[in-house]
Amino acid sequence: MGANVAHKFRTGLKPQAFVESMTKNQDTYQNWSDAFSWEDEQDRAFFASLQHRDDLRCLILAADWCGDVVRNLPVVLHALKETDMPVEIMVMEEHLDLMDEFLTMGGRAIPVVIFADTGGHVLAKWGPRPKHVQAVMTAFKQQNPDRNATDYEDKIKVARAEMLEQYGEGTGYQQVIVKELRELLSSI
């Protein structure tokens, strides 16, 4: 990927510190976290098998006000907990320089999960949401490139509602994230 994030190592928050510092959406975050379960023991075993990989680090751009963070970060953290990989949460507003290196379609979308080696070389990234949910926003941005259009706000509200529909009512999306992270980590 070309980017290097070594200068950001040890500048973020440990996951528990991030959760404890949340001033918005902490209860909702905790509800999604409590709802997580491993549906496939092979997935859990895969993440546990990464415990021997002492060459991996993870930085996660996040903020407590973001619905995608509140919904997706608990899944990411449950999966990564199995790996014993060092994980740091980078509060977006405090790390805009890093955020601007990992834009999604030119915009600041979070969470962004960045996997790097011990030298800080970025190996892979995931986020801000599962691919099938992100597809809604991708299509919206392609069809509505002018943020100043008079109907932009109305149309983005529709897109956001459709993204919520794609997430679904329950926790099924959580297993999608687990599979996407497993696929990504399998490739590095």
Q: Residue 1: inside a domain, yes or no?
A: no
| Angle, alpha carbons 36-77-110 (nearest 5°) | 105
Dist. CA 188–CA 147, nearest whole Å? 37
Give me the phi and psi of 78, to 5 degrees please. -60, -45
- Tell me whether residue 88 is in a domain: yes
Q: Is residue 144 part of a domain?
A: no
User: Does residue 170 lie in a domain region?
Assistant: no
For residue 163, the Cα-to-chain-centroid distance in whole angstroms is 15
Q: Which residue has the tokens 């199995």?
A: 82
Percent of the chain with pLDDT over 70: 99
Indicate which CATH number applies to the domain containing 35. 3.40.30.10
**151-169: per-residue pLDDT in tens?**
999 999 999 999 999 999 8
Domain that holds residue 30: 6-128+177-186
pLDDT tens figures, 46-55: 999 999 999 9
Work out how many domains the chain is built from and give that number.
1
The pLDDT of residue 1 is above 70: no
Asked if residue 105 belongs to a domain, the reply is yes
Q: Does 152 reside within a domain?
A: no
Question: In the predicted model, what is the mean pLDDT of residues 32-55?
Answer: 96
Q: Is residue 24 part of a domain?
A: yes
Please tell me the pTM assigned to this model.
Answer: 0.93
In a domain, 142, yes or no: no
pLDDT of residue 2: 72
DSSP notation for the chain: ---B-GGGTTSSB-HHHHHHH--SSHHHHHHHHHH---S-HHHHHHHHHGGG-TTEEEEEEE-TT-HHHHHHHHHHHHHHHTTT--EEEEEGGG-HHHHTTS-BTTB--S-EEEEEETT-BEEEEE-SS-HHHHHHHHHHHHH---TTSTTHHHHHHHHHHHHHHHH-SSSHHHHHHHHHHHHHHHT-
Residue 124 has pLDDT above 70, yes or no: yes
- Say which amino acid occupies 163: M
